[in-house]
Amino acid sequence: KKIVIMASGNGSNFENIVKKLGNQVDIELFSENKNAYVIKRAEKLKVKTHIIDFKSYYRDEYDEKLYNLLKKQTPELIVLAGYMKLLSPKIVDKFKIINIHPSLLPAFPGVNSIKKAYNYGVKITGVTVHWVDNGIDTGKIIEQKSLKIDKGISLEKLEEKIHEIEHEIYPCVLKKLLGL
């Protein structure tokens, strides 16, 4: 079984999934950002990496190249882990794709969600894993875990706690979906 993890930045979820599931499933990385730290992590972990530099192409060209690449890889599942570009409808229609989002959707979709929840002053936030459709963080919810925001907690500490939850639930959801 093969999955392709798509990531644009830091890659802590990518590394966590590779460490937890790498011996049970074939994992490849895709990034559209050649300077992303996740690529360094993949090198260290010896994970095969595909890069299409987003900035070097017109949007249509990029979408087509990405579609063809993914089609060639034929992953059972595409796993978004901090992938910061919208996927084209053609890709969304063709593949099974999941995403992890650092809030309790439908609250705080889009970017900077941890900070948005923190600044809003909600008392409970959390993490959502969902199917990807053509909207932004709108697909059917697969799993959620909530977290109480303690009084006086710093934004940095909240971010740390959210990432801990992400690292706990994303591999669990993957295991279930892949039947591992």
CA distance 19 to 116: 30
Q: Does residue 61 contact residue 91 with C-beta atoms inside 8 Å?
A: no
Residue 61 vs 168, nearer CB to ligand GRF = 168
Residue 130 is a catalytic residue:
no
Strands 97-101 and 124-131: antiparallel
Q: Cis peptide leading into 109, omega within 30 of 0?
A: no
Is 139 among the annotated ligand-binding positions? no
Taking the complex as a whole, the smallest distance from the CB of residue 61 to ligand GRF amounts, in Å, to 25
Amino acid at 108: F
- Among the listed residues 50, 101, 130, 167, the single catalytic one is 101
Can you tell me whether residue 36 is helix, strand or coil? Answer: coil
Compute the CA torsion angle 167, 90, 61, 12 (nearest 10 deg): 0
Residue 87 Cα distances to 34, 93, 140, 175, angstroms:
18, 10, 16, 24
Taking the complex as a whole, the smallest distance from the CB of residue 166 to ligand GRF amounts, in Å, to 5
Whose CB is nearest to ligand GRF?
82
Q: Which residues of this protein are in contact with ligand GRF, per CB under 6 A?
A: 7, 9-14, 81-82, 100-102, 166
Residue 39 vs 100, nearer CB to ligand GRF = 100
Is 85 among the annotated ligand-binding positions? yes
Taking the complex as a whole, the smallest distance from the CB of residue 43 to ligand GRF amounts, in Å, to 16
Taking the complex as a whole, the smallest distance from the CB of residue 123 to ligand GRF amounts, in Å, to 20
Is 87 among the annotated ligand-binding positions? yes
Is 68 among the annotated ligand-binding positions? no
Is 147 among the annotated ligand-binding positions? no
Residue 6 vs 70, nearer CB to ligand GRF = 6
CA distance 20 to 32: 24
Tokens of 31: 């990034």
Enumerate the known binding-site residues.
11-13, 59, 84-87, 99
Give the residue numbers marked as catalytic. Answer: 101
Enumerate the known binding-site residues for (6R)-10-formyltetrahydrofolate.
59, 84-87, 99
